[in-house]
Structure 1
Amino acid sequence: MDRYAPALLCLCLGALRAGSAAPTTTGTPDGSELWGYVEVRPKAHLFWWYYKSPHRTSTPSKPWPTILWLQGGPGASGVGLGNFLEVGPLDVDLKPRSSTWLQKADLIFVDNPVGVGYSYVEDDSLLVTTDWEQAADATALLKALAKEVPTLQGSPLFLVAESYGGKYAATLGVSVARAVRAGELKVTLAVSWPSILAASVVINLSLFLSQQDVYNFLLDSGMDPVSTDSSPSSSSPSSVLQALRYSTYLGSQLGDSSAGSSNTIDGIMNGVIKEKLKIIPKDVRWVEVSNAVYYALIDELLSYGVNVTVYNGQLDVICSTDGAEAWVQKLKWDGLKTFLSLPRQPLYCGPGKGTKAFVRSYKNLHFYWILGAGHFVPADQPCIALSMIGSITQSPAS
């Protein structure tokens, strides 16, 4: 494989206490990739994968950032979906991604919580049942990674989450912030405000969890609902099958007939990628979304002065823009009235002159409206997503 292969709490990590057991870590000989397991509780194992950016540059006033990506679901795999379908160095065909977020930061993907993707428990009773339980596990993971990943020392760390992962990131951000205040974590805050990014925040959760990603399914199948010239006939059988596997809901209806194909996410994660990593137990099978985890399962951050950034795809039918806006309007933050009164600013990206997004900012609250994007913003609008993450992380990369 090529060497370069998200609520965000921006911290320069210092010496942290280790997790409950010695981590299992391996990687490439040159250290550009590291991966491993951390036993966050007895018999509960979280899998993580770190990529060191080949574009690293740093100055005393602008250190190179690190992004920890948390997938949604609940129960979806960040190591698989976020990595190979959205922002990692390679796509599902294992070809370089031109819009990889490694251009702006180092990346860490984690299969969170335990029981997701390559992460596993030795007893199903150890699966988490609340967001705060996953936050405790993820905090234990960060403590271990501070020792396992040398570049985390002095690097601002951003927790970036998608969909339900926004709830994960929010609770994890609060958990870490509380630990810092209590003196349980020895960290140095970055020069900029600590930041938290909740991407595509889930509002009225019960209304959304059982719905499939209709827009992305139609788009990937060549049946774009906002296009006047698309038709099902424009898709090859293989692209339709890939779209079905990509859709969480419809993919679960297909069975395993395509699981061995190398051009599907299931195929690579249970084939060439599992072989590359070497440390995945033989009886652990990667799946897009863990049903066991699914069913087992920001005001405080603003008061801490933490930067809260919400971004939402205009065409997202899972986490709608209306829902995200409604969530913001219910905040008890003292700056909310002024925030809501400000106009949105247009954003542009790439050679086209059209508006790609809008943003509204006041103090430590920021909201991005991403045009022409569904539930998976980095996949649907990679240019503006890359520009946005560079701005949020204040990456020194040009």
Structure 2
Amino acid sequence: MIQMVSMKYLCVLVLCIFGFLSLVTSIGNSSGGTADGSETWGYVDVRPGAHMFWWLYKSPNKPKHSTKPWPTILWLQGGPGGSGVGFGNFGELGPLDVDLKPRKSTWLQKADLLFVDSPVGTGYSYVDNDNLFVTTDVEAAIDVTTLLKAIYNGNQTTIMSPLYIFAESYGGKFAVTLALAALQAIETGELKLQLGGVALGDSWISPEDFVFSWGPLLKDVSRIDDVGLNKSNSLALKIQQQIADDQFAKATDTWGDLEDVILDSSNGVDFYNFMLDGENDPTSLTTKSSRRFGKKPYAMVSEANGNDLDSVMNGPIRQKLKIIPTNVKWGGQSDGVFLAMEGDFMRPRIAEVDELLSKGVNVTVYNGQIDLICATKGTEAWINKLKWDGLSTYLNLARTPLYCGEDKSTTKGFFKSYENFAFYWILGAGHFVPVDQPCVSLEMITVLDSGSNLKCVVFVSIVTKEKKNE
């Protein structure tokens, strides 16, 4: 009898353990990392059938005896459908380049780096069924918030590290919606995390303002003539009306038509650097589609020996990670990600930036001087539409020049800031600022701590109003 009771409770214990393990599996039990703990990676099932991949690098530069919290930068790529784990990591700012050689300008010098393949279906992330793709920026934000809960909650060391959300291109729309979703989860106690700030690099915050910038900008630099300008402006007006009528999918189609007009009128200008032809971009970002910004995932070929990112990610990196399912190809579902989001692609997110500012979150915008797709002219236009109380004062402040290190002989950019908003003009950079201007990018992300949990200062230029006005 005693043995039977013991066996009964043993069975109950086994079932409980099995149930616990099943719960762990449900939030993502596929994980790996290096032996020294400097890198960890894994999957989180953000929804049943929706598997999101993440990769965290611990910085070797973290001071061993400092009491100041060491920051973590979460990098969000654009597209939608561009892989942060692939392009942002190996193409722009991670510890290794596409040739798997050490990158001298890695942002690990300043912070830990967290790369996420979001939305699901991007990079190594995948969905079991196409109807599990997200269709809006908000849905994508909810998924990443679920991932952050799995990574941060219960990890005291990670909780103490303020998180700064950095974004590029379409990733900016993800960043502002994610920041709001994360803040809500923090306020309700569902997410144990300190949000340090949001940084929007060449970000697609207001599609209307960008499409209106293309024609005049290219006309001013002699890349198109009046005929091309008139065609461009006509389509931009059509897009403006479609956005006003909430016809966002139709606006996406017209946007594609406008890109074709720009390419035809300019003899193939590079949308990532208007000083070049698309075929001559030294960053070797290539695509066969004229709709370069979205419908095709980023491709990259190294300048050194011709390694392409697709081969690297589906070859040696896949072998290193060991947890990528055999049926999952890096970038294999990226086209589906964009197609699922066509109805949200042209939706503006200016109101979300305003909401972040009103909540006291540090918001920084930085833009490459020679970018076309998210031109500085368009960025300045949407900034002028902010309802933020400090806008008028900010607009009337003088800019401060930026240099690279101790060299004051060459201006690398400008910045100005007021309260919790800052803007960086990065000279000589196109769409991919960390690639084109790595030195000044590192200057930009120098981290200062203001001593406040939710108002940690991430950029050199974000100082208190009193100091700025001295």
Pairwise TM-score range, normalised by the shorter structure? 0.7 to 0.9
Q: Measure the CA separation in 2 of the matches of 1:337 and 1:305.
A: 17
The correspondence of residues 326-337 of structure 1 with structure 2, limited to 5 A, is 326-337=381-392
> Is the Cα–Cα contact under 8 Å of residues 175 and 198 in structure 2 kept in the other structure?
yes
TM-score, structure 1 length as denominator? 0.81
Q: 2:200: which partner in 1?
A: 198
Q: 1:10: which partner in 2?
A: none
1:120 and 2:162 correspond: no
Residue among 139, 144, 164 paired with 1:158: 164
Change (3 A) 1:70 1:57: same
1:268 and 2:280 correspond: no
TM-score, structure 2 length as denominator? 0.69
1:324 and 2:368 correspond: no
Q: Measure the CA separation in 2 of the matches of 1:80 and 1:346.
A: 33
Where does structure 2 lack aligned partners over 5 or more consecutive residues?
1-22, 212-254, 342-352, 448-456, 461-470
Change (3 A) 1:225 1:119: closer
Residue among 267, 270, 281 paired with 2:325: 281
> Is the Cα–Cα contact under 8 Å of residues 18 and 143 in structure 1 kept in the other structure?
no
More deviation, 156-165/173-182: 173-182
Give the match's secondary structure for 1:323.
helix
Identical aligned residues as a percent: 53
Q: 1:390: which partner in 2?
A: 446
1:18: how far off? 8.2
Change (3 A) 1:39 1:262: farther
Q: Measure the CA separation in 2 of the matches of 1:149 and 1:378.
A: 30
Q: Measure the CA separation in 2 of the matches of 1:56 and 1:141.
A: 24
Q: 2:149: which partner in 1?
A: 143
Change (3 A) 1:383 1:369: same
Q: 1:89: which partner in 2?
A: 95
**Greater relative contact order structure (CA < 8 Å, 6+ sep):** 1
Q: Measure the CA separation in 1 of the matches of 2:82 and 2:72.
A: 21
Q: Measure the CA separation in 2 of the matches of 1:311 and 1:241.
A: 19
Q: 1:105: which partner in 2?
A: 111
1:202: how far off? 1.2
The correspondence of residues 227-266 of structure 1 with structure 2, limited to 5 A, is 242-244=284-286, 263-266=307-310
1:372 and 2:437 correspond: no
Q: Measure the CA separation in 1 of the matches of 2:206 and 2:38.
A: 40
> Is the Cα–Cα contact under 8 Å of residues 367 and 375 in structure 2 kept in the other structure?
yes
1:23: how far off? 3.3
Change (3 A) 1:117 1:150: farther
Cα deviations across residues 155-196 of structure 1 (Å, max 9, x unaligned)? 111111101101101000001112222333344x47xxx411
1:242: how far off? 4.5
1:199: how far off? 1.5
1:244: how far off? 2.7
> Is the Cα–Cα contact under 8 Å of residues 120 and 134 in structure 2 kept in the other structure?
yes
Change (3 A) 1:164 1:342: same
1:306: how far off? 0.4
The correspondence of residues 177-196 of structure 1 with structure 2, limited to 5 A, is 177-187=183-193, 189=194, 194-196=196-198
Higher-Rg structure is 2
> Is the Cα–Cα contact under 8 Å of residues 19 and 40 in structure 1 kept in the other structure?
no
Change (3 A) 1:81 1:67: same
What is the identity, as a one-letter code, of the residue corresponding to 1:374?
A: G
Change (3 A) 1:305 1:241: closer
1:112: how far off? 0.4
Q: Measure the CA separation in 2 of the matches of 1:322 and 1:342.
A: 18
Q: 2:139: which partner in 1?
A: 133
Q: Measure the CA separation in 1 of the matches of 2:379 and 2:25.
A: 35
Q: 1:344: which partner in 2?
A: 399
Q: Measure the CA separation in 2 of the matches of 1:90 and 1:220.
A: 26
Change (3 A) 1:219 1:93: farther
1:342: how far off? 0.7
Tell me the number of residue pairs that the alignment of Structure 1 and Structure 2 aligns: 361
> Is the Cα–Cα contact under 8 Å of residues 141 and 177 in structure 2 kept in the other structure?
yes
More deviation, 103-112/383-392: 383-392
Q: Measure the CA separation in 2 of the matches of 1:34 and 1:150.
A: 16
1:389: how far off? 1.1
Change (3 A) 1:337 1:59: farther
> Is the Cα–Cα contact under 8 Å of residues 19 and 141 in structure 1 kept in the other structure?
no
Q: 1:42: which partner in 2?
A: 48
Q: 1:292: which partner in 2?
A: 336
Q: Measure the CA separation in 2 of the matches of 1:96 and 1:321.
A: 31
Aligned CA RMSD, in angstroms, stands at 3.5
Q: Measure the CA separation in 2 of the matches of 1:150 and 1:247.
A: 46
Where does structure 1 lack aligned partners over 5 or more consecutive residues?
1-16
Change (3 A) 1:55 1:264: same
1:92: how far off? 0.5
> Is the Cα–Cα contact under 8 Å of residues 19 and 143 in structure 1 kept in the other structure?
no
Q: Measure the CA separation in 1 of the matches of 2:165 and 2:29.
A: 21
